[in-house]
Amino acid sequence: MLYNEHRMAISVSHLSKQYQTYKKEPGFLGSLTSLVSRKYETVKAVDDISFEVQEGELVGFIGPNGAGKTTTLKCLSGLLYPSSGIINVLGYIPFDRKNPYLKQIALVMGQKNQLWWDLPAQETFLLNKEIYEIPDDMYKNTLGQLVELLDAKKMLQVQVRKLSLGERMKMELIAALIHSPKVMFLDEPTIGLDVVMQKQMRDFLKNYNELQRSTILLTSHYMEDVRQLAKRVIIIDHGKILYDGKLDNLVKKFASHKLLSVVLETFVPKEKFEEIGTVVSFEYPKVVIKVKRKDSNDAASALLKKFPVDDLNIEEPDIEDVIRDVFNSKNE
C-alpha cells in the first residue's frame, strides 16, 4: 500500500509487547534451585495501546522510566516485533523492514550514537548518503540546510570524540536527517544537555518540523521540551495510555486545583490565608494559595474583600505537577 498524504502517518491499533523474564531467588540456594526449576514471569512493556498521528504532527510521548515509551518507538521503527496488534506507518508494516520504509523514517536515541568516534562526522554523513542512495545535489542541499539550522559548519571536520555532548548531538541529528525522513522517532534527544543546548535543539526541531512538515513522535523527561514543541501529548504508564489529547486540555481535565497568586499592600499573617485555601508559599508581599478549581472565583472574591490586595492572579498549576497527579491517581 502506497502512502497517501491525506491519511494518518502513524496508526497503532491494540499494540502489545510482552517479555519473558527469568526470576531467580537470592543467594546460593536460589542459584541451585534455578538449575533444576527456573521461574519466569511475563512483563507487559506495552499493554494494548492504540493511537494515530497525522502527517506533520509533532506529538509528545511522555511517561516515567519503564512506562513503555522506548519499546513503542522500537516497534514503530521496526526494531522490535510486537506480541500483538497492528502498526501502520506511512502505509508500511514496520517490522517488515522494507527498504522503501526505512528510507522514510529516522530513529534518534539520545543515549545511542551512530557516528564514528575517531573520524569527523561528515564521514558518517557520506556513508549515509550511499546507504540511502541520495543524489549528489539533494545531499548537498539537505546538508547545507541542516548545518545552517544547527549552526554546525565549524564542527563538520572535527573528530567526533573531540566534540562536546551538545555538538555530538547536533551531528547525530544531521546523520539521522540527511535522507529527509517523513517520520522521526526521537527518544530523549536532549538528555544530558545543558539548558542552552536544550533550547537550541528545541528551536531546531520546531523549525525543522515547520519547514519539512515531518511527523515527529518525541519522548523526553524534560517537560520544557514537550511544552515548547508539542500541542498534543500522549501519556503512558505501565504500558497503558492514560491520556491522549491537547496539552492545554490536560490541565483542565486532570488539575483539581488552581493557584491564587496575591501581592499584598500591607503585611498579613500567613495563618489568615489558610482560611481561604492551602498556602503554597508565603514570601511577603507575595502569597500563593492553592484552592479547588470550582472554588477559585469565590476564593479570589473573598481575598479581595477581606485582605489588602494590591494584585491578584488566578493561575493554572505547572504541567509537571499535573502529570505527576495523573500518575499518582493511576497508582492509587
Q: Are strands 240-246 and 232-237 parallel, antiparallel or unpaired?
A: antiparallel
Q: Residue 184 belongs to what H/E stretch?
A: strand 183-187
Q: Residue 108: what are its φ and ψ, rounded to 5°?
A: -115, 120
Q: Match 511517561 to its residue by C-alpha cell.
A: 63
**Taking a C-beta distance cutoff of 8 angstroms, is the pair 240, 50 a contact?**
no
Segment 216-249, tens digit of pLDDT: 999 988 888 888 899 999 999 889 999 999 988 8
Q: Say whether 26 sits in a helix, a strand or coil.
A: coil
Q: Residue 129 belongs to what H/E stretch?
A: helix 121-131
Distance (Å, whole) CA 4 – CA 55? 10
Of 160, 178, 158, residue with least CA distance to 169: 160
pLDDT at 35: 67
pLDDT at 174: 93
**Taking a C-beta distance cutoff of 8 angstroms, is the pair 189, 146 a contact?**
no
Q: Say whether 307 sits in a helix, a strand or coil.
A: coil
Q: Does the pLDDT of residue 319 top 90, yes or no? A: no
State the average pLDDT over residues 197-204. Answer: 90
Which band of pLDDT confidence, cut at 50, 70 and 90, is reported for residue 140?
very high
Tell the burial category of 123 from Cβ atoms under 10 Å away from its Cβ (0-12, 13-18, 19+).
middle
State the average pLDDT over residues 259-264. Answer: 94
Average pLDDT, the chain: 88
pLDDT at 190: 86
Q: Does the pLDDT of residue 191 top 70, yes or no? A: yes
Segment 53-111, tens digit of pLDDT: 999 999 999 988 888 999 999 999 999 999 999 999 999 999 999 999 999 999 998 76
Task: List Cβ<8 Å contacts ≥24 apart for 276-284.
Answer: 276/302, 276/303
* HEC profile of 272-305: HHCCCCEEEEEECCEEEEEEEHHHHHHHHHHHHH
State the average pLDDT over residues 174-188. Answer: 94
Distance (Å, whole) CA 22 – CA 41? 7
Q: Say whether 201 sits in a helix, a strand or coil.
A: helix
Specify the higher pLDDT residue, 36 or 261: 261
**Residues of the chain above pLDDT 70, percent:** 92
Distance (Å, whole) CA 212 – CA 149? 12
Which band of pLDDT confidence, cut at 50, 70 and 90, is reported for residue 3?
very low
C-alpha gyration radius of the chain: 25
Q: Does the pLDDT of residue 45 top 80, yes or no? A: yes
Considering the entire predicted model, what is its pTM? Answer: 0.79
pLDDT at 103: 94
Segment 279-317, tens digit of pLDDT: 999 999 999 999 998 999 999 999 999 999 999 999 888
